[in-house]
Structure 1
Amino acid sequence: MKHLIKSIFGLILRLYVGYEFLTAGWEKIVSGFNGVAVTGFLKSGLAQTHGALLASKGAEAAAHANVSDVWAWFISNIFIPSSPLFAFIVKYGEFFVGLGLILGCFSALAAFFGIIMNFSYLLTGTVSVNPQLVIFQLIILLIGAAVYTIGIDRLFMEKLVSKHPVLKRGFFKVLFPVDKQ
């Protein structure tokens, strides 16, 4: 194995982050997580905007809003009206990101989409474990091809990238890294 330490470290991070996502997604799948739950979560984010804090708690609280007005616009005009769709995307997205990280199948791609989900939660005003998961997922991306050494990716990633040369260029090479022989 070319990068043993990085591979083992990547495996540990993948398993931890994958477990967090898989269990969160599974919990949502079996609990009947739906658009009503998403709308409630998003409305709690709207309550943390400058305007909402100014109206409810005064100017001092409004000076430190957790949710930006731009993100509040997205919440009000895109996310809430489409909450059933986003409920589906969140529960199955979390589940499949977790599964991909645990199995080592499209690991970097799973970490990338996990980062997008974590940032969405952060922008909506929820801290929880999201910053820590973002850092771990960034490390998974930075480890590069070594993250594929222990997992299903090692069985097909080089063939996939050699068959589709576009995956060797630009940002794709971060999501589909292979060792240069």
Structure 2
Amino acid sequence: MFMDFIRHNKVVAGVLVFLRVYLGYHWIIGGLEKITGGFDASGFLQGAIASAGGEHPAVQGWWAAFLEGVALPNAGFFSFLVMWGELLVGIALILGIFTNFAALMGITMNFAFLFSGTVSTNGLMILLTIFILVAGHNAGRYGLDRWVIPFLKNHNRVKKDKGKKHVLPV
């Protein structure tokens, strides 16, 4: 019953607009600060790796191993992904275009930040993003998804029909 309510109710879709804009604003601000401030993730990554040691580690060993073996050697690439990922997730959420994908990418970044030992607003952002993900298409009802998703579905259907042989009934 709750799932049907959150996925189909138009009032809920209106509330989700506020959640989308709130989250989108925070993603855009974070991304713009990083882009204009010359963000380099290597210091953050080194700090996260260092937090994996000691008596009460803030970072799990498996995550620190990933950061040390994959992320740190490719810090420039990860810096690029974080800066532009935050900006693009924010824009997509505010415009309501590819809302579910943007929310999925946003929650992935939030979890990566949490795994790296940064609490900040990530917990709240994850909680709000879960509502957007659970709502599915309804989260983008009052956004560009209202037109883009049906267009893409129809376009895909037309492509599939072109490949089929149509036999007239006898």
TM-score bracket relative to the smaller structure? 0.7 to 0.9
Superposed counterparts of 1:124-135, under 5 Å: 124-135=116-127
Q: Equivalents in 2 of 1:105, 1:25: separation in Å?
A: 18
CA distance in structure 2 between the partners assigned to 1:136 and 1:107 by the alignment = 13
Which residue, out of 41, 47, 59, partners 2:44?
41
Which residue among 145, 163, 168 is the counterpart of 1:153?
145
Give CA deviations for 1:70-106 in whole Å, capped at 9, x if unaligned: 0011011100000000111000000000000001111
Select which of 43, 62, 70 maps to 2:62: 70
Preserved CA contact (<8 Å) 2:13 2:141: yes
Instruction: Kindly indicate whether residue 28 of structure 2 is the aligned counterpart of residue 28 of structure 1.
Output: no
List gaps (5 residues or longer) in structure 1.
54-61, 166-181
Provide the C-alpha distance between the structure 2 equivalents of 1:25 and 1:38, rounded to a whole number of angstroms: 13
Residue pair 2:93, 2:99 contacting (<8 A) in 1 also: yes
Structure 2 unaligned regions, length at least 5: 1-7, 158-170
Task: Tell me the equivalent position of 2:160.
Answer: none
Query: Secondary structure at 2:123's aligned position in 1?
Result: helix
Partner of 2:25: 19
CA distance in 2 between counterparts of 1:130 and 1:101 reads 16
Residue equivalent to 2:98:
106
Measure, in 2, the Cα distance between the counterparts of 1:161 and 1:27.
36
Q: Percent identity?
A: 35
| TM-score normalised by structure 2 residue count | 0.84
Separation in structure 2 between the aligned mates of residue 88 and residue 145 of structure 1, nearest angstrom: 29
User: Once the 2 structures are TM-superposed, how far is the Cα of residue 47 of structure 1 from its aligned partner?
Assistant: 1.7
Name the counterpart of 2:168: none
Q: Quote the RMSD (CA, aligned, Å).
A: 1.3
Report how far residue 160 of structure 1 moved: 1.1
Aligned residues: 150
Instruction: Name 1:115's counterpart in structure 2.
Output: 107
Structure 1 residue 143: Cα displacement: 1.2
Distance (whole Å) between structure 1 residues aligned to residue 24 and residue 15 of structure 2? 14
Tell whether 2:12 aligns with 1:6: yes
Deviation of the 1:161 alpha carbon: 2.6
Q: Is the 8 A contact 2:110 2:122 kept in 1?
A: yes
> What is the CA distance between 1:162 and its match in structure 2?
3.9
